[in-house]
């Protein structure tokens, strides 16, 4: 079976005088090298230059605050149970009186951790979130020297009040509508039952 036509049969024939000199071969090689000086570079200088990314790029997570600055997350655990890599862990706390401006609902995430080494950036957590609290953004996760530094806590995940992170790209009407449509699995089951009843 032949996969490519680049097969070369190795031969051990004696080198000619010109070949023994090596000079023509060196000149040929230098020509190739020099020609690359005038070609377009395939690489970019990353931190200064950045390649364009898709609008649905999934990068580092953000935990959103609502319009009053209160954290949206209620620590319901849907993201953690949806996560195929089991990267999300959390503990819940109960909101006390006077903390209404900090947390949106009675329960909040006292700790919320995402292990960025475990995370596969599939976006199932934002799909599962019933409170529009977690979103994946176009930011890249920083490189670190220690493994423990990749476990992002609330200090890194929750957006700062004065530095809001724009997620409108990921909050398209289609996405929001998807969460509200009745055509989810349980409704299909119900429709099937109804069909059976009609036949009877």
Partner 1 sequence: MKVTIDGITIDVPKGTTILEAARMIGPEVAPPTMCYYSKLKTSGGYCRTCIVKVTQGSAANPTPMPKPVASCRTEVMDGMVVENTINNDVLEARKGVVEFLLINHPLDCPVCDQAGECSLQDLSYEHGAAKTRYEFPRREFERIDIGKYVQLHMNRCIMCFRCVKVAEQLTDNRVHGVMHRGDAAEISTYIENVIENEFSGNVIDVCPVGALTDKTFRFKSRVWFTKPVDASCDCKKCSGKVRLWMKGPDVLRVTARKNMWAEVEEFICNTCRFDRKSVSDWKIEGPSPIHRGSVISQNHYNHLNELKVQVMKQQKALGFMDINKRP
Tell me the C-alpha distance between 76 and 103, whole Å.
Answer: 14
Count CB-CB contacts under 10 A for residue 166.
Answer: 12
Q: What is the DSSP letter of 78?
A: H
Closest CA to 112 of 60, 151, 164, 160: 151
Q: In whole angstroms, how close is the CB of 164 to partner 1 at the nearest point?
A: 23
Residue list 175-194, contact with partner 1 (CB under 8 A): 180, 182, 186-187, 189-191, 193-194
In the complex with partner 1, which residue's Cβ is closer, 98 or 197?
197
Of 85, 102, 131, 156, the one binding partner 1 by CB under 8 A? 131
* Cα radius of gyration rounded to whole Å, the chain: 29
Of 86, 100, 149, 166, the one binding partner 1 by CB under 8 A? 86
Q: In whole angstroms, how close is the CB of 79 to partner 1 at the nearest point?
A: 11
Tokens of 83: 């996560």
Of 7, 40, 51, 196, the one binding partner 1 by CB under 8 A? 196
Stretch that binds partner 1, among 30-38, 86-94, 116-124, 152-160 (CB under 8 A): 86-94
Alpha carbon distances (Å) from 36 to 27, 29, 126, 144: 15, 11, 46, 35
Residue list 35-64, contact with partner 1 (CB under 8 A): none
DSSP 3-state percent helix, strand, coil across the chain (nearest 5): 30, 15, 55
* 87-116 footprint of partner 1 as x/- string (CB under 8 A): -----xxx----------xxx---------
Closest CA to 109 of 142, 128, 134: 134
Does position 120 bind partner 1 by CB under 8 A?
no
Bridge-partner residues for 114, per DSSP? Answer: 88, 152
Of 63, 78, 114, 136, the one binding partner 1 by CB under 8 A? 78
According to DSSP, the β-strands at 151-152 and 107-115 are antiparallel
Stretch that binds partner 1, among 1-9, 40-48, 55-63, 79-87 (CB under 8 A): 79-87
Binding site for partner 1 (CB under 8 A): 74-78, 80-81, 86, 92-94, 105-107, 130-131, 180, 182, 186-187, 189-191, 193-194, 196-198, 200
């Amino acid at each position: 079976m032949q996969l490519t036509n680049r097969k070369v049969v190795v031969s051990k024939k004696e080198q000619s005088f010109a070949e023994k000199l090596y000079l023509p071969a060196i000149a040929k090689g230098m020509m190739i090298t020099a020609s690359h000086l005038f070609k377009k570079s395939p690489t970019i200088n990353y931190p200064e230059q950045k390649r364009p990314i898709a609008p649905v790029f999934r990068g580092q997570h953000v935990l959103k605050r609502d319009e009053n600055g209160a954290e949206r997350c209620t620590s319901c655990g849907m993201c953690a149970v949806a996560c195929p890599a089991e990267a999300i862990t959390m503990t819940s706390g109960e909101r006390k009186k006077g903390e209404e401006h900090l947390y949106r609902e009675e329960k909040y995430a006292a700790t919320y951790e995402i292990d960025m080494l475990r995370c596969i950036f599939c976006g199932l957590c934002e799909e599962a979130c019933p409170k529009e609290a977690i979103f994946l953004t176009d930011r890249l996760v920083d490189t670190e020297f220690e493994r423990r530094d990749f476990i992002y806590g609330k200090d890194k995940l929750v957006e700062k009040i004065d530095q809001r992170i724009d997620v409108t790209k990921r909050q398209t009407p289609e996405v929001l509508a998807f969460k509200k449509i009745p055509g989810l699995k349980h409704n299909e089951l119900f429709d099937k039952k109804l069909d059976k009843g009609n036949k009877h």
